[in-house]
Amino acid sequence: MKRALLITSLMAATALSAAPVSAQGETTEACQPETKPRSAADKKFEEISTAEYDWRVGEMAPNEDSPASAEATLPDVGPKRQAEKLARWTDTLKALDALDVAALSPANKVNYEVYRQQIESLLAEQKYHEYEKPMTADTSFWGDVAGWTRGTFSTAADYENYIAMMQQIPRYYDQQIVNMRAGLKRGFTAPKITLQGRDSEIAAVVDAKSIAASPFYAPFETMPDIIPAAKQAELRQQAQEAIRKDVVPAHQKLLTFMRTEYLPGARTSLAAYDLPDGKAYYRSKIREFVTLDKSPEEIHQIGLDEVAKIKARMFDVMKQVNFQGTLPEFLTFLRTDPQFYVKKPQDLLDRAAWIAKMFDAVSGDYFGRLPRRRFAIKPVPAAIAPYYTGGRGGPGIYLVNTYDLPSRPLYSLPALTLHESAPGHAMQMPLAAENKDLPAFRRDTYISAYGEGWALYSEALGEEMGIYQTPYEVFGMLSYQMWRAARLVVDTGIHTQGWTREQAQQYLLNNTALSKHEVTTEVDRYIAWPGQALSYYMGELTILQDRAKAEKALGEKFNIRAFHDAVLELGSVPLPVVTQRVDQFIKDGGVGPYPDEEK
């Protein structure tokens, strides 16, 4: 659920977008010098990675008895398939261990490093039975399914695939319930405190006043004129039948399970260390989300050090606006003064759009290559907005949370927009997907340390680009930087040092300008999703340190556009690969991957 090839409930429903796996070997081969034939090691690596990635993408393919296309199929998450995944990735890692890595081409050495990190993370998730806890504080498998209702339907085939998907919901939910029961039995559940209100999404489907009022019927309310009226009527009838026979009963069964078994039986402790084999489990999440072998103690200390540095800059801004008082008093002022808040949801969306266009005005000064794909700005769906974060972005979408407007300060909106839209997620992800010089397993997957690190770097870059128009907006950016640095302290504190939920909340309230509502939802997210919050600041630190190294080494030859293009051309990679690429950038005299576009 957390990685799955750009499929995510955090954005409007998107189809599986993996490029044909057969292109992987062709792409890798194309990266080799023409005068140098591929080595046996190259051929073996490409054989291993192509076969496994083909199989991995096939995990989303239809079941034997399903008429649905791959784009509409819910995966098999049953015990047999989980055992197959464990065996497959165990064998794949053994095959990688047996390779002569030194004999790989330069391009494939990078591909090997990226691919191995993916396999190690996938294997660790299977070993620790991550599938028995198929939810975080603001995502869930039923939320993923509900995301299809917000998809784009253009043809009759789109609707037929959607109907076929609805018919699979009972099987899919039954498998998830079996997995969750296994997790309950061994104490591997989401913490109870993070599950408050999560059954409301399920209840909304069960309690709909009519089939036509069901959220799952929404795509059929208005259908494209290109579909003949008779076909529209047929599809609507089929959809109503699927909702009546499959969707509603499956959600009723899930709701009963959640309310009578899962919610009452969920663990009351917060720490990952309290889970089965908890210390090893949390260390595996650090390796997955940070891609560096750091101990919790090291990361906690880095967080404390960075919080102190950012706090010093916060005091400078307070002096700049002539605020007489303490930092907590300034934070209270920011959280309560009406000048920093809007009263209508559309006003927040309008401001976000304005900020996004401000970036467009300077984008050519900082980036040589921009993606072809643009993005929409939409509100977070009402059903999930109360416990959702302030916003989220990705290919084609920037979601802005317009729920509880007094908790959505304008001074934080520029940083949020740069992070979630461009040059953050809604730009980096499409650039990776459009880079045909990368194998598919690099174009279509997401490594949090890189993706979130880049997005957080984008926030800081906004100061250099002139996006922040007032000292308060600069403070909002610093608050967001502080928020991510504080995560290093809070996440490790919760999961390894016995911090309480209230202690974590207070740490964020004391050090950031986040609203109390945001602090509550964020802390619950860290509790339910161990280690993920560490990726942001650790990733940004790597990019900042590598940039400083390049600037020092290249002097006047340093070209910011070339540097950014060099980092972004990688796709989504472990942090050591970023450092290796920047080292090569320095050796190349600061020439980036697209010299003609970087002049």
Give me the DSSP letters along 92-141: HHHHHHTS-GGGS-HHHHHHHHHHHHHHHHHHHHHHTTGGGS-B-SS-BH
**Dist CA 384 CA 186 (whole Å):** 29
Helix, strand or coil, per DSSP, at residue 379: strand
| DSSP per position, 496-524 | HS---HHHHHHHHHHH----HHHHHHHHH
First to last CA, the chain: 41
Asked if 214 and 244 count as a contact pair (C-beta separation under 8 A), the reply is: no
Task: Give the H or E element holding residue 397.
Answer: strand 397-400
136 class by beta-carbon count within 10 Å (0-12 exposed, 13-18 middle, 19+ buried) = buried
The label of the residue with tokens 């000064």 reads 365
**Dist CA 430 CA 411 (whole Å):** 28
Q: What is the largest CA-CA distance in the chain?
A: 70
The label of the residue with tokens 């064998």 reads 91
- pLDDT for 147: 82
Neighbours of 168 (CB within 10 A): 22
**Dist CA 482 CA 508 (whole Å):** 9
Asked if 400 and 342 count as a contact pair (C-beta separation under 8 A), the reply is: no
- pLDDT for 21: 29
Residues whose CB falls within 8 Å of the CB of residue 556, separated by 6 or more in sequence, listed in order = none
- pLDDT for 60: 59
One pLDDT digit (tens) per residue for the chain, 599 residues: 333 333 333 333 332 222 222 333 333 333 334 446 789 999 999 999 999 999 998 875 544 333 334 455 899 999 999 999 999 999 999 999 999 999 999 999 999 999 999 999 999 999 999 999 999 877 899 998 988 877 778 999 999 999 999 999 999 999 999 999 999 999 999 999 999 888 998 999 999 999 999 999 999 999 999 999 999 999 999 999 999 999 999 999 999 999 999 999 999 999 999 999 999 999 999 999 999 989 999 999 999 999 999 999 999 999 999 999 999 999 999 999 999 999 999 999 999 999 999 999 999 999 999 999 999 999 998 878 887 888 999 999 999 999 999 999 999 999 999 999 999 999 999 999 999 989 999 988 899 999 999 999 999 999 999 999 999 999 999 999 999 999 999 999 999 999 999 999 999 999 988 888 889 989 999 999 999 999 999 999 999 999 999 999 999 999 999 999 999 999 999 999 999 999 999 999 999 888 877 66
Helix, strand or coil, per DSSP, at residue 391: strand
Neighbours of 372 (CB within 10 A): 8
269: left (phi over 0), alpha (psi -120 to 50) or beta: beta
- Pairing mode, strands 376-379 and 391-394: unpaired
In sign, the C-alpha dihedral spanning 568, 573, 578, 580 is: negative
The label of the residue with tokens 């591929």 reads 38
**Dist CA 455 CA 245 (whole Å):** 43
How many Cα atoms sit within 13 Å of 112 on the Cβ side?
22
CA distances from 195 to 135, 253, 499 (A): 9, 18, 19
**Dist CA 543 CA 457 (whole Å):** 7
C-alpha torsion 543→371→153→58, nearest 10:
-60
- Pairing mode, strands 397-400 and 391-394: antiparallel
Q: What angle do CA 145, 151, 153 make, to 5 degrees?
A: 125
- pLDDT for 599: 66
**Dist CA 550 CA 547 (whole Å):** 5
| pTM, two decimal places | 0.85
